[in-house]
């Protein structure tokens, strides 16, 4: 007699690594967090991670961007904030001055945005799971690689 198996159900989220022409990273300030983040969010039911990224960028920035290659997938362990999850990071491209000028934030969700040099952007992200994965993701972005991470680190 076989034992019943429990099938994993994971939360899935997505984000976009977006830069300006100087290579500065776009970060956004959520109204509900004490640290900065990147554009992105939870993938909805029956939505692919890439489609979720396109939707989140449109909702958060008011931009329809051609989301590029997958930079990383990070498996994050369960913690006090929630269940384990899969976090997808895509290349959101390089914004020109006109695109930057047309950014429109949803005021109930995002208080501000800015482009910051990488070192400063990493400091703004604080010490959470996103901040833990971003150094490896930036290195993969520069090298044109795609990474699999576990809790922000290569296994």
Model pLDDT for residues 14-66, shown as the tens digit of each residue: 999 999 999 999 999 999 999 999 999 999 999 999 999 999 999 999 999 99
Angstrom distance (rounded) from CA 85 to CA 97: 35
CATH number for 11-150: choose from 3.40.630.10, 3.90.79.10, 3.30.70.270, 1.20.120.10. Answer: 3.90.79.10
Using DSSP's 3-state secondary structure scheme, residue 153 falls into strand
Model's pTM, two decimal places?
Answer: 0.93
Give pairs for 47-55: CB < 8 Å, separation 24+: 49/12, 49/14, 49/86, 49/88, 49/90, 50/14, 50/88, 50/90, 52/12, 52/13, 52/14, 53/14, 53/15, 53/16, 53/88, 53/90, 53/92
The residue behind tokens 């576990």 is 150
Q: How many residues are there in the chain?
A: 155
Where exactly are the structural domains of the chain?
Answer: 11-150
Q: What is the pLDDT of residues 65-77, one digit of tens each?
A: 999 999 999 999 9
| Phi and psi, residue 143, nearest 5° | -90, -5
Angstrom distance (rounded) from CA 143 to CA 147: 11
Tell me the pairing of strands 110-116 and 147-150. unpaired
Nearest partner of 100 among 23, 15, 26, judged by Cα = 26
| Phi and psi, residue 19, nearest 5° | -130, 165
How high is the pLDDT of residue 2? 60
How high is the pLDDT of residue 138? 98
């Amino acid at each position: 007699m076989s034992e019943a198996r429990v099938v994993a159900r994971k939360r899935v989220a997505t984000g976009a690594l977006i830069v300006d022409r100087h290579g500065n990273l776009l970060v956004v300030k959520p109204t509900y967090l004490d640290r900065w983040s990147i554009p992105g969010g939870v993938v909805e039911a029956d939505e692919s991670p890439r489609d979720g990224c396109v939707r989140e960028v449109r909702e958060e920035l008011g931009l329809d961007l051609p989301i590029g290659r997958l930079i990383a997938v990070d498996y994050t362990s369960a913690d006090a904030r929630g269940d384990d999850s899969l976090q997808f990071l895509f290349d959101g491209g390089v914004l020109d001055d006109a695109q930057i000028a047309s950014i429109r934030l949803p005021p109930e969700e995002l208080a501000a945005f800015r482009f910051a040099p990488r070192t400063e952007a990493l400091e703004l992200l604080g010490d959470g799971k996103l901040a833990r994965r971003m150094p490896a993701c930036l290195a993969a972005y520069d090298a044109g690689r795609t990474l699999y991470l576990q809790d922000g680190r290569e296994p």
